[in-house]
Amino acid sequence: MKIHVGTSGWSYPGWRGRFYPPEIKPPDWLEYYAGHFDTVEINMTFYRSPKPEILHGWAARTPAEFLFTLKANRQITHLKKLQKVEHDLEHLAYLARQLRGKVGCLLYQLPPSLSKDLELLGSFLKILPTGFRQVIEFRHPGWYDPAVYELMSASGAIFCVVSSSRVPPDVVVTAPVAYFRFHGLTGGYRYRYTDEELKKWAEAIRQCGATEAFVYFNNDYQAHAVSNALKLRELLSAT
């Protein structure tokens, strides 16, 4: 099982001195990050569309095996709520192609206000761009339903396993690839996972049945995401 471990973003001023050496300037943080991790989630694409040159630069400044996961723009998930988003999906695929083959997954994080709607989900899954690993993160607990899992399995979409205070931590695998996001528990992004918690998650990841997994930590406060990601990777390698 191939497991990629990283964080949700790399450009955090609070990481300077905790992860990034003080002498390294922000424009060089990505190269430093890529020397320690083999993947990263890009959150900026949720808010705005980066210029192709920016994506080309990211691809050029990282090792050949490095992978970027792009988070879908909020137009798709939060404003249009998965309806009439064909053009937006085409643009997301265009952005992904600018990474020159270094795409991990495309992540669609649904808002907590969007409750279970099988017809809506089925229609959305049919129009997803081909050629990419597609991940959906549900933030309303109503989506945690076998009917949803079956629909996603039939389409090959990946169910995002989440550690947060919002939804159950159920390990649901709907494709050969599994996807895990750690948002933090009490205190959200300020939460730091204990070694015991990470040991349980390492075992869950190893036993999930997927052939490949992507794991990202989003608890960016004081670089907790970095220390937790490094510890989890250490635990996963201790087989």
* pLDDT, tens only, 69-79: 999 999 999 99
* Each residue's pLDDT tens digit, 121-144: 999 999 999 999 999 999 999 999
pTM of the predicted protein model: 0.97
Q: What is the CATH number of the domain that holds 8?
A: 3.20.20.410
Domain count, the chain: 1
pLDDT of residue 239: 61
* pLDDT tens digit sequence for 154-187: 999 999 999 999 999 999 999 999 999 999 998 8
Q: Is the confidence at residue 211, as pLDDT, over 80?
A: yes
Q: Confirm if 184 and 190 have CB atoms less than 8 A apart.
A: yes
Domain that holds residue 194: 2-237
